[in-house]
Amino acid sequence: MSEEVLTSEEDGILVVTINRPEAKNAMTKAAAEGIAAAMDRLDSDDSLRVGILTGAGGTFCSGMDLKGFLRGESPSIEGRGFGGIVQKPPEKPLIAAVEGYALAGGLELMIACDLVVANAGAKFGIPEVKRGLVAAAGGVMMLPDQIPERIAMELALTGDFIDAARAYELGLINRVTESGALAGAKELAASIVANGPLAVRVSKQVIKQSRGWPMEERYTRQTQLIAPVFISEDAREGAAAFAEKRKPNWKGK
């Protein structure tokens, strides 16, 4: 794992930290590789249930490292995209914990996550046009799926920023915290960890995939994905725990 990305785990939560505070966590090839490796670990380790992506030093990510760009470096991974996740996020839930700025590629990293917790002082934007570039790592394609198209158009064409209050109002982020975003993200993650891992994974899968399903096929396709959940050991354990008024002992199968 690159020193530009740090990981730690506790209580089923994998915290992945972009560790380039001197450069406002601008994304490099090495950092992208580190994030991709961390996502592989999240999905392959049954003891890990939720991931959190954050940045060191009070900034989430300021985007692509422009010095690296001028050297011809691409902070992308083949088949995974910018930062190692925008084209291929993990199967398990991933929460962005945003302090400071989530700009350009940093915003694109954020919107590739499933949930977002941000500090009240955070700022968001895709200012690529101010540098003669396009927010090509999902900004101009994915942002209109998450906020109204006209607002996404304004952000893309002006390059202006919005604050956490406006981002929350638009539904771009889930929670705003006056204290540390990471602490808030861990609280949200813990509420996910408490639930059945199979049900969580498939719920995410259906939400992500069903937007592209033909309307007449939605229930059929959903049934194909959720049927194994309803006959799983976890489903029986969940019902038994409810009846016995105790916490469930999930096995993930």
Q: Is residue 56 within 8 Å of residue 43, measured between CB atoms?
A: no
Count Cα atoms within 13 angstroms, Cβ side, for 229.
17
The question of whether 108 is a catalytic residue gets the answer yes
Separation between Cα atoms, residue 110 and residue 92, nearest integer Å: 15
pLDDT of residue 155: 97
Q: Are 51 and 90 in contact (CB under 8 A)?
A: yes
Q: What is the pLDDT along the chain (253 residues), one digit of tens a residue?
A: 569 999 999 999 999 999 999 999 999 999 999 999 999 999 999 999 999 999 999 999 999 887 777 787 889 999 999 999 999 999 999 999 999 999 999 999 999 999 999 999 999 999 999 988 899 999 999 999 999 999 999 999 999 999 999 999 999 999 999 989 999 999 999 999 999 999 999 999 999 999 889 999 999 999 999 999 999 999 999 999 999 999 998 988 8
Strand-pairing partners, residue 54, are: 17
Angle CA(63)–CA(126)–CA(76) in degrees, nearest 5? 40
The residues near 237 (Cβ < 8 Å, ≥ 6 apart) are: 196, 248, 249, 250, 251
CA distance 77 to 190: 30
Whole-angstrom distance, CA of residue 101 vs CA of residue 137: 17
Q: Which among 91, 128, 233, 237 is annotated as catalytic? A: 128
Let me know how long the chain is. 253
At 131 the pLDDT is 86
E strand or H helix at 207, and its extent? Answer: helix 197-210
- Helical axes 105-112 vs 139-146, angle rounded to 10°: 50
Instruction: Give the tokens for residue 36.
Output: 């991709």
**3-class DSSP assignment, residue 56:** helix
Question: Among residues 4, 33, 99, 108, which one is catalytic?
Answer: 108
Give residue 214's Cα distance to chain centre: 26
Joined together, the tokens standing for residue 149 give 């198209």
In this prediction the pTM is: 0.93
Residue 71, exposed/middle/buried by CB under 10 A (0-12, 13-18, 19+)? exposed
40 with 88: CB under 8 angstroms?
Answer: no
Please say whether the beta carbons of 181 and 156 come within 8 A.
Answer: no
Residue 128 annotated in active site: yes
- d(CA 6, CA 56) in angstroms, rounded, equals 9
